[in-house]
Structure 1
Amino acid sequence: MKIYISGKISDTNLTETRKRFAAVAKAMKRLGYEPVNPLENGLSEHDTWEAHIAKDIADLLQCKAIYMLQDWQDSKGARIEHYIAAEIGMPITYEIEQPINENE
């Protein structure tokens, strides 16, 4: 099952954010899911926010569920993704404890 990973990307340390999203994707793969990481959407960090959110929404709509990282409420894009998921009845899972450790 394809699951979209959503969380704050803009105004973060992109190196750390890439590691965090990659760690979550790796853990999802171990559980048998097919993660969709917005940091691997084919666009560069130099593309506009609007280009990214348009691609991310298109990718989200190809998924069966969405996984919201703890900081999602601090991100306009993640709030939009959450809204769309809720409106179309997509299952939403929330990260509620410690972020997934990339060394697990």
Structure 2
Amino acid sequence: MIRIYLAGPMSGYPELNFPAFHAEAARLRALGFEIVNPAEIDVGPNPDWLTAMRADIRELVTCDGIALLQGWEQSRGATVEHALARGLGLRVMQARHIVGLAGDIPVISQDAVIELLDEAEAA
């Protein structure tokens, strides 16, 4: 089973954006992925940012890839997680583009392919 870490913005969002994390975790689990959801990692009441990041990163490094929620680019924590995942050679995907699982390969939508081609042409 493919183990995917969810990364996205939390700080400054109502309910720390947990509803978006829980909804995406449920969607990806229904597709057959094992999901590590930082909104489910218990760091005790009112942890500071560094304490939460340490707990999250301990889980991230056990994953096969990272799925990025919309707005991740504006999140200090998610940008750290993204850089770490890339540096470790993990699969990096936009969560919204994941539409299935074929064996141990995530399946992405046609929209993702179009975005990648557009980015390559713009470069």
Q: Same fold (TM over 0.5)?
A: yes
Query: Once the 2 structures are TM-superposed, how far is the Cα of residue 44 of structure 1 from its aligned partner?
Result: 3.6
TM-score normalised over the length of structure 1: 0.86
Tell me which structure has the larger Cα radius of gyration.
2
Residue 63 of structure 1 is matched in structure 2 by 63
Higher normalized contact order (CA 8 Å, seq sep 6+, divided by chain length): 1
Give runs of ≥4 in structure 1 deviating > 2 Å.
Answer: none
Tell me which protein shows more strand as a share of its residues: 2
Residue 89 of structure 1 is matched in structure 2 by 89
- For 2:8, the aligned partner's letter is G
In structure 1, the gaps of 5 or more residues are 98-104
Question: Structure 2 CA distance, aligned partners of 1:73 and 1:51?
Answer: 21
Tell me which protein shows more helix as a share of its residues: 2
Question: Structure 1 CA distance, aligned partners of 2:65 and 2:72?
Answer: 15
- For 2:4, the aligned partner's letter is I
Question: Structure 2 CA distance, aligned partners of 1:13 and 1:43?
Answer: 19
Q: Percent identity?
A: 31
SS in 1 for 2:5: strand
Residue 12 of structure 2 is matched in structure 1 by 11
What is the root-mean-square deviation of aligned Cα atoms in Å? 1.5
Query: Once the 2 structures are TM-superposed, how far is the Cα of residue 95 of structure 1 from its aligned partner?
Result: 3.8
How many pairs does the alignment contain?
A: 96
TM-score normalised over the length of structure 2: 0.73
1:7-48 CA-to-partner distances (Å, cap 9, x unmatched) read 000111016x11111110101111100111101111145011
- For 1:30, the aligned partner's letter is A
Query: Once the 2 structures are TM-superposed, how far is the Cα of residue 96 of structure 1 from its aligned partner?
Result: 5.2
1:67–1:45 distance in 2 versus 1, CA, 3 Å: farther
Question: Structure 2 CA distance, aligned partners of 1:96 and 1:6?
Answer: 12
Residue 51 of structure 1 is matched in structure 2 by 51
Question: Structure 2 CA distance, aligned partners of 1:30 and 1:46?
Answer: 30
SS in 2 for 1:62: coil
SS in 2 for 1:70: coil
